[in-house]
Copies of this chain bind each other. A is one copy, B any other.
Amino acid sequence: MKARAKPWLLENLRFAYYFLGVVYLAMGVVMLGLEALSLLLRESAWGFLSGAVAGLGLGAWFRKLGDPKHEPGRAEALLSIALIWLLVPALGAIPFWISGGMPYLDALFESMSGFTTTGATALADFSQFGYSLFFWRSLMQWFGGVGFLVLAVALLAHLAVAGRQLFITESTGVQKEPFTPRLRTAALSILKVYAVLTLAAAVCYWIAGVPAFEAVCNALTTLPAAGFSPNPRSFEQYTPLAQWFGTLFMFLGGAGFVLQYRLFFTLDPRPLLKDVELRVYTLIVLVFSVSLAAFLMTHHTQAMNYSWADAFRHAFFNVTSIITTTGYASADFALWVPAAQAILVTAMFVGGCAGSGAGGIKVIRLLVVGAIVRRELIRSLHPQAIITLRLGSKTLGEDVMRSVAAFITLYVALVVAGALLISLLENDFILGLTASAQAVGNIGPGLGEVGPMGSYAGLEPLSKVILIFQMWAGRIELIPVFLLLTPELWKKLRG
């Protein structure tokens, strides 16, 4: 039995190995470029070189092990997703470890936080990193965002996982093609939209007075709702205009790929006005922002003594940042009064639209759950009634509803379990709850020590391991990770 273990894993994951090989090779090439940059800037030379060597070497080996024509089955595809989203950050951590002065665990935390577009940092002292490391940190978020969208729009939807089947629509340009071309089509259109919007954001930030390097880095991490900034104070020290631009581009990022595509390529926004998810998303952002603004305007303390205009700006910026799961901050909301923080903690569970790089539960899943509850209420009156649920013009299938219910249950369970464990490890309940919620939602900042101007560096190693696990599981929408715990997966892979 034991002798067969290697063959079936090798046999079944041939596509994954090939794909991982290609990604590792690409990462190797990018790190070679960053090596050149760091030599040019006279920054620490060994980190990117080691990463490049590892990437190119392992990449070539994995590519040779793999087979691009091996169409993976469902079990293989789901296992591959989990594996790739763990091994890519493992390689990406090398420069942080060797050149950034971080222990490997912290470097992996930073890298996982990067590729999952979480944006939680284990960096306590920002002077440890040079330009090249900050640029790498931003780049990994940008590519992580593109990768996630390919995963969510092309892969999870076709695998009918986590309710993503709801998202199969002609408008995304993703047809029912075989595996590799499907990935390629999706990736290309996403890259196109992301590139244009990122450029626009960079220019806007720069015009609004953000230094050029920071404008580029922040633009790379705005659209994928990612949130790393090379500035230790995030958006706090930028001009009000730059902060409003941040709010705008975060909102666009959370509104999702279809909106972005329609707005900038078809120039016809009319169908969007009918989009239920987009309307509810906008409404949620408005309600939370206006509530917070009203609260900030009426409750002045030393840490939040805002004028009318400031209150609105900070409310819209930070609410949009949390709801879209970007994680920037225009003020250190960890110093606000508990009531103002309560609004932000609640916002952590929303997430953007399903076709965006945002983490969290996401608006459409909340709408599906609302529909399920409404139907059960009506069924308690009319138990025999057959009730078809709709979202906008779409009929909700039973499979979507069941998937969404299971997804949200796993989501809440993972947040609660993490909150309990981290609270125990850190002896801080608010830190435990917010660190856990932000990690599963790929948000970034928590409250207390891990607030937007704080760092995860000081946490217990075991807390960091839990958070790395949560960021990873949250980003690939939980199902591929929890599947690893079922005997059925391993049985299917073996036989």
Instruction: Tell yes or no: A341 within 8 A of B by CB.
Output: yes
Does A482 have its Cβ within 8 Å of any Cβ on chain B? yes
Query: What is the bound-complex CA distance between A402 and B381, given in angstroms?
Result: 15
**How far apart sit A150 and B377, CA to CA, in the bound complex (Å)?**
22
Nearest chain B CB to A333 CB, angstrom units: 13
Beta-carbon nearest neighbor of A299 in chain B = B427
CB of A161 within 8 A of CB of B380, answer yes
Number of this chain's copies in the assembly equals: 2
Residues of B within 8 A of A381 (CB): 74-75, 78, 483, 486, 488-489, 492
**Does A345 reach chain B (CB closer than 8 Å)?**
yes
B338 touches A423 (CB 8 A): yes
Residues of chain B within 8 A of A427, CB atoms compared: 299, 337-339
Take A338-B428, A416-B349, A424-B295 as given contacts and tell me if A377 and B479 are in contact as well, using a CB distance cutoff of 8 Å.
Answer: yes
A430 interfacial contact with B, CB 8 Å:
yes
Q: With CB as the reference atom, state the residue of chain B lying closest to A405.
A: B405
Contacting pair A380 B343 (CB below 8 A) = no
Q: Which of A74, A381, A407, A420 has the most CB of B within 10 A?
A: A381
The B-contacting residues of A in range 417-471, CB under 8 angstroms, are 419-420, 423-430, 432
Judge if A412 is at the interface, Cβ distance under 8 Å: yes
Q: Which of A369, A408, A423, A430 has most chain B Cβ within 10 Å? A: A423
**Interchain CB contact under 8 A, A486 and B378:** yes
Q: Of A419, A424, A489, which is in contact with the most chain B CB atoms at under 10 Å from its CB?
A: A424
For chain A residues 321-380, which have a beta carbon within 8 Å of chain B? 337-339, 341-343, 345-346, 349, 369, 372-380
Residues facing B in A371-400 (CB within 8 A) are: 372-383, 399
Question: A343-B424, A416-B349, A429-B345 in contact; A160/B383 too (CB < 8 A)?
Answer: yes
CA distance A341 to B402 in the complex (A): 34
A403 within 8 A of partner (CB):
yes
Whether A159 pairs with B486 at a CB distance below 8 angstroms is no
Q: How far is the CA of A341 from the CA of B410 in the complex (A)?
A: 23
A341 to B369: give the CA distance in the assembly, Å: 31
Contact A372 B405 (CB under 8 A): yes
Interface centre among A380, A408, A412 (most CB of B within 10 A): A380
A346, A374, A376, A412 — which one has the most chain B CB atoms within 10 A of its CB? A376
* Interface: A303 (CB within 8 A): no
A199 within 8 A of B: no
Task: Tell which of B337, B338, B402 touches A376, judged by Cβ atoms closer than 8 Å.
Answer: B402
Question: How many angstroms between the C-alpha atoms of A341 and B433 in the bound complex?
Answer: 13
A403 adjacent to B424 (CB under 8 Å): no
What is the CA–CA distance of A414 and B486 in the complex, to the nearest angstrom? 32
Q: Does A409 contact B (CB under 8 A)?
A: yes
Inter-chain contact A378/B412, CB cutoff 8 Å: no
Chain B residue contacts of A425, Cβ below 8 A: 339
A406 on the B face (CB < 8 A): yes
Q: Which residue of B lies closest to A370 (CB)?
A: B409
Contact residues in B for A78 (Cβ distance below 8 Å): 380-381
A283 to chain B, nearest CB (A): 16
Evaluate contact between B339 and A423: CB separation under 8 angstroms: yes
Nearest CB of B to A21, in Å: 26
Besides A343-B424, A377-B479, A382-B488, 18 other A-B contacts (C-beta < 8 A): A74-B381, A338-B428, A339-B424, A339-B427, A341-B429, A342-B419, A349-B416, A373-B406, A375-B402, A375-B406, A376-B406, A376-B407, A377-B406, A377-B483, A378-B488, A382-B492, A408-B409, A430-B430
